[in-house]
Structure 1
Amino acid sequence: MSDPTASSRFVEVADRVWVARYDWFDVNVSVVEGERGLLVVDTHASRAAAEEVLVDLRRLSARPVVEIVNTHVHVDHVLGNGAFRAAYGAVPVTAHEEAAAALPEQAAAAQAHARGSDDPREQGIADTEVVVPDHTFSSVTAIDLGDRVVELVHPGRGHTSGDLVARVEGADVLLAGDLVEEAGNPVWGEDSWPMDWPLSLDLVLSLAGPGTVVVPGHGAPVDLDFVTEQRSAIGVVAETVRDLAGRGVPLSQALDTGQWPYPAEELVHAVRRGYEQLPRSQKRLPLV
């Protein structure tokens, strides 16, 4: 039993919008309150981790969770879905259609990797039931919380093919998932879209104003200037890949040849994926 007098980890960042930041993965879980109840955005990385979130959430509010949103497919944001359903019943889980389609394979790979770990928290990943989002959309959708609406927008491919951002009616806040990164540099994984990411962030920026609080998937909330600067650096990565490929620099030499805004060792997947995604017309052949 949690102590109802204990403080919650959740911090209010806008009107009836709270964010809790958890050490493991330095991941954020956000909560939006409406007349119907609570909407939770991202659910952490395992059942055990989500149960920790649930303790904090109950200290924050006695209202029920009535909606769940997953910002993208990666397991640190979705594997707590089952714990929330165990606590609150068959709550709808909404994600972009690409994220929902990719989750079974993504989760299976993460769980297989976790089984070989000595870290009890990672073992928790292996032991967690995977709950795939049952409400999906392709471009834009909205969740009605009674007295306010949360708009979900797929701005395009970037960190993954199925990223979404959430814009809350009546609160100048944008929940951006891993399209925006504050805890470290942006992360280009094997499922990233480096050539699309800058344009997707342009759409995200169009949804924000000078006073908007932007909540990243990891780290502290940021402002519009931070997102603009990060978009510029992500754009430099994409344009450098385009330039190198257009000059016929082979992929094997690209990391050493380019002038990058981030450490080259963090850009292995960004460069490889970028070369793969460029149309043939933008590459000087042969590339070896």
Structure 2
Amino acid sequence: MPDFEEVAPRVWVAHYDWMHVNIVLVGGSDGLVMVDTHGSAEQARVVADDVRRLGAGPLTALVNTHEHWDHHFGNATMVEEFGAMPIHATEWARDHVEVSSGHTFEMYEQATDHPRREEVLATTVLPPTHVFSSAVQLDLGDRAVELVHPGRGHTAGDLVVRVPDADVVLGGDLVEESDPPFIGDDSFPLEWPTTLDLVLGLMTPATVVVPGHGRVVDKDFVQDQRIELGVIAETIRDLAARGVPVDQALVTGEWPWERERLESAVRRGYEQLPRGHRQLPLA
């Protein structure tokens, strides 16, 4: 059973094997803020037990880093277990939770052999209650925590959490360690590198960085991932400018990741290019 590990003063991370999800607690004199809540009600009850075992204070607020199910399907359970509390997210994430969750339920309805099908389908969705568009500061009593929407990348509603006095940044799925970041049908591959530039600007060389999935990393790791995402974005722009059709781009380009991970990235990138950046297909 995972334990919350203190990675900086009063910042604890628990890493769960299912999807390599990280759940983070940030403590202040007024209580704990939990960042992300896992992917089902059943798994969230496990997290709740781990919070109680840590015994670092009352849980007083939740933060969802974006609208994908594996980061907020535990919201309702946390409220049931610890009482009513604000749930913070970007406006975009709040407005798209229901649609995104619907896609997840449809996927699991069809996945009749998936071992976690029933527990996911049994989950009640509880959307965020407190939203912002650019940045907001949470008051934990003797500590301030910053929520920042740095731009579009993994989704249009990503936020990062900065704990300035501990020099910690929680990257959500803008940063992933267990695998390369997932570029899906709701991602913005051409904008993701510049979004990470803003995130990098929130860091010092000593910053502790907690990704949405995987092990704790540092600023150098984020810089390297930004470079890879930048190569993907520039390769898409170059191929389109040379008239390579979208259906030939994957096999034509030289990519930093396996091609099968980049099907959505290429399609989305071509869709998001300004018209002036696309040429007629090569004869």
Correspondence for 1:181: 176
Provide the secondary structure at the position in 1 that maps to 2:174.
coil
TM-superposition CA deviations, 1:250-276 (whole Å, max 9, x none): 001000000100011100000000000
Structure 2: where are the runs of 5+ without partners? none
Correspondence for 2:191: 196
Correspondence for 1:167: 162
Letter in 1 for 2:101: A
Correspondence for 2:54: 60
Provide the secondary structure at the position in 2 that maps to 1:131.
coil
Correspondence for 1:3: none
So what's the TM-score if we normalise by structure 1? Answer: 0.95
Correspondence for 2:10: 16
- The partner residue of 1:283 within 267, 278, 283 is 278
Correspondence for 1:98: 92
Letter in 2 for 1:13: V
User: Number of residues paired by the alignment?
Assistant: 282
Cα shift at 1:201:
0.2
Letter in 1 for 2:242: R
Measured in 1, the distance between the counterparts of 2:117 and 2:6 equals: 30
Measured in 2, the distance between the counterparts of 1:280 and 1:181 equals: 31
Provide the secondary structure at the position in 2 that maps to 1:130.
coil
Measured in 2, the distance between the counterparts of 1:82 and 1:29 equals: 15
Q: Does 1:71 align with 2:72?
A: no
Measured in 2, the distance between the counterparts of 1:263 and 1:119 equals: 25
1:235-274 map, 5 Å: 235-274=230-269
Provide the secondary structure at the position in 1 that maps to 2:116.
helix
TM-superposition CA deviations, 1:103-125 (whole Å, max 9, x none): 10111111122123333423211
The sequence identity of aligned pairs, in percent, is 54
Correspondence for 1:215: 210
Provide the secondary structure at the position in 2 that maps to 1:142.
strand
Cα shift at 1:152:
0.3
Measured in 1, the distance between the counterparts of 2:105 and 2:131 equals: 24
TM-superposition CA deviations, 1:162-216 (whole Å, max 9, x none): 0000001310110000001100111101100000000000000000000001000
Q: Does 1:146 align with 2:141?
A: yes
Cα shift at 1:89:
1.5
Letter in 2 for 1:205: L
Measured in 2, the distance between the counterparts of 1:62 and 1:250 equals: 55
Letter in 1 for 2:52: R
Provide the secondary structure at the position in 2 that maps to 1:179.
strand
Q: Does 1:157 align with 2:113?
A: no
Structure 1: where are the runs of 5+ without partners? 1-6
Measured in 1, the distance between the counterparts of 2:127 and 2:115 equals: 24
Correspondence for 1:231: 226
Provide the secondary structure at the position in 2 that maps to 1:216.
strand
| Maintained 8 Å contact 2:27/2:56 | no
Correspondence for 2:121: 126
Letter in 2 for 1:243: D
Question: Once superposed, what is the RMSD of the aligned Cα atoms?
Answer: 1.4
Measured in 1, the distance between the counterparts of 2:222 and 2:80 equals: 36
Provide the secondary structure at the position in 1 that maps to 2:60.
strand
Letter in 2 for 1:193: F
